[in-house]
Amino acid sequence: MISDKERKLREDICHVAKMMYAREFIGGPAGNISARLDEDRFLLTPSKPFKQLLRPEQLIIIDSTGKKVGPHTDANMDLTPTSEVPMHLAAYNTRPDVGAVLHGHLSYCVAMTAAGKTIRPHVLTEGMLFLGDIGVADYATPTTQELGDNVAKVVVDHDCVILPYHGVIVASTDLWAALAKMEVLEQTAQINCLVNQMGGEKPMPREHIAGMLALREKMGMNLPSDANLLEN
Which spans of this chain sit near Zn ion (rule: CB under 5 A)? 167
- In the bound state, the residue with its beta carbon closest to Zn ion is 167
Return d(Cα 153, Cα 136) in angstroms, integer.
10
Q: Which is nearer to Zn ion, 164 or 211 (CB)?
A: 164
Minimum distance from CB of 29 to Zn ion (Å)? 9
Minimum distance from CB of 28 to Zn ion (Å)? 11
Q: Which is nearer to Zn ion, 132 or 167 (CB)?
A: 167
Q: Which is nearer to Zn ion, 107 or 196 (CB)?
A: 107
Minimum distance from CB of 119 to Zn ion (Å)? 18
Minimum distance from CB of 57 to Zn ion (Å)? 24
Q: Which is nearer to Zn ion, 105 or 181 (CB)?
A: 105
Minimum distance from CB of 83 to Zn ion (Å)? 9
Q: Which is nearer to Zn ion, 60 or 151 (CB)?
A: 151
Q: Which is nearer to Zn ion, 32 or 192 (CB)?
A: 32
Return d(Cα 91, Cα 225) in angstroms, integer.
15
Going from the C-alpha of 67 to that of each of 59, 71, 188, the distances in angstroms are 14, 13, 36
Minimum distance from CB of 207 to Zn ion (Å)? 39
